Amino acid sequence: MHEMSICEGILLTLEEQSKVQNFNRVKKVWLDIGAFAGVDIQALQFGWEVVTRNTLAHDSQLMINDIPGQAWCLGCSSTVNINNRYDDCPVCGSPRLQVTGGEELKIKELEVD
Ligand SMILES: [Zn+2]
């Protein structure tokens, strides 16, 4: 499962950070997840419980911050919101969009002890 390896990656980052910033417990993790990141949130939450068992993030909460899809339109020179990566511009109908937001998958904030 793809989400499982994402969880493992996050946990690895937390373990590294715990050494740098000197904390022992992670209580909450806020994640920025873009609309195009291709992440199944339910699977991610489930994976998180499994992966963090008996680690510094045991019983921690995963807080998801949804980032909408955004693109820069070369047709009308404006930033537009899109639901799918290959959508045409909702303003002028141009297919020449450059995705500028929605691919995020990163740790935004931590609550630690
Ligand atoms: Zn446009």
Q: Which two tokens stand for residue 39?
A: 């992440």
- Please count the residues of the chain: 113
Determine the distance separating the centroid of ligand 1 and the alpha carbon of 35, expressed in angstroms.
20
Determine the distance separating the centroid of ligand 1 and the alpha carbon of 101, expressed in angstroms.
16
Determine the distance separating the centroid of ligand 1 and the alpha carbon of 28, expressed in angstroms.
39
Determine the distance separating the centroid of ligand 1 and the alpha carbon of 57, expressed in angstroms.
44
Determine the distance separating the centroid of ligand 1 and the alpha carbon of 49, expressed in angstroms.
42
The per-residue pLDDT for 1 is 60
User: What percent helix, strand, coil does the chain show, rounded to 5?
Assistant: 25, 35, 40
Q: Is the pLDDT at 101 greater than 80, yes or no?
A: yes
- Dmax over CA atoms of the chain, in Å, equals 53
31-87 pLDDT, tens digit each: 999 999 999 999 999 999 999 999 999 999 999 999 999 999 999 999 999 999 999
Distance between CA atoms of residues 9 and 30, nearest Å: 14
Question: CB burial class (10 A; 0-12, 13-18, 19+) of residue 80?
Answer: buried
